[in-house]
Amino acid sequence: MEFDAVKEYFAHLQNRIVEALQMADGQNFMHDSWQRPEGGGGVSCVIEEGNVLERGGVNFSHVSGDRLPPSASAGRPELAGRGFEAAGLSLVLHPRNPYAPTVHMNVRCFMAKKEGEAPVWWFGGGMDLTPYYGFADDAVHFHRTCQLALAPFGETLYAEFKRWCDEYFYLKHRKEPRGIGGVFFDDYSGPGFERSGQHREIFRAVCYLRIFQAASGHRHQAHDRQPARDRRGAARL
């Protein structure tokens, strides 16, 4: 699997997600293409004050350069001075209806390159839900979908990635998790580039749209939105 295939996959996944959300909301996302002078660019897709989405963003980026910035190689000094290429897709969706959860998702691939040497690469990513009113069936469905999507790659991966997510998104200042968790992984390269890259398939299994559409049908009052405002503010601290 070549890096270009990963980049194209992320761009295609962005299009699929945006198209599905536009159909659900009835309002189009704004598209903003940008270029990075040092190499690369991306597409930001944003919706504000939609019919069912209060705000949301689905963003794709692909950047490259001749030399890793010091911050990028701080944890891996052996990579200092290498060229690099990175691609990623991220999204955050905040529904209008407080009975529908907020979702965070991102997936990324990074490769450091040096002429005459094998490239050093890794994948990372994750997705999690932040409900404001709990529905047990939704939580079970979300985690079950994550588990089934990861099952072909190893029996222990779901448990490992779930635990990592629980730890990574724990809000220490509030002594509570951000939401009901999900999966998270980083610096993942164990089974080889192609096999590791196949883990991106979990993001094709995102079951949020079903949960979002079901919850958006719940009638709510203005005061029902306060827990959502409180939680969103806490997550930004």
Tell me which residues are annotated as active site.
104
Asked whether the beta carbons of 44 and 36 are under 8 A apart, the reply is: no
Q: Which residues contact 90 (CB under 8 A, 6 or more apart)?
A: 57, 58, 59, 105, 106, 107, 108
- Spell out the alpha helix ranges (H) of the chain: 3-25, 70-73, 136-150, 157-168, 193-197, 208-215, 226-236
Residue in this structure with the two tokens 């598209």, named with its chain if needed: 31
Q: Is the dihedral of CA 167, 168, 169, 175 positive or negative?
A: positive
Contact 102, 92 (CB under 8 A): yes
CA distance 94 to 187: 28
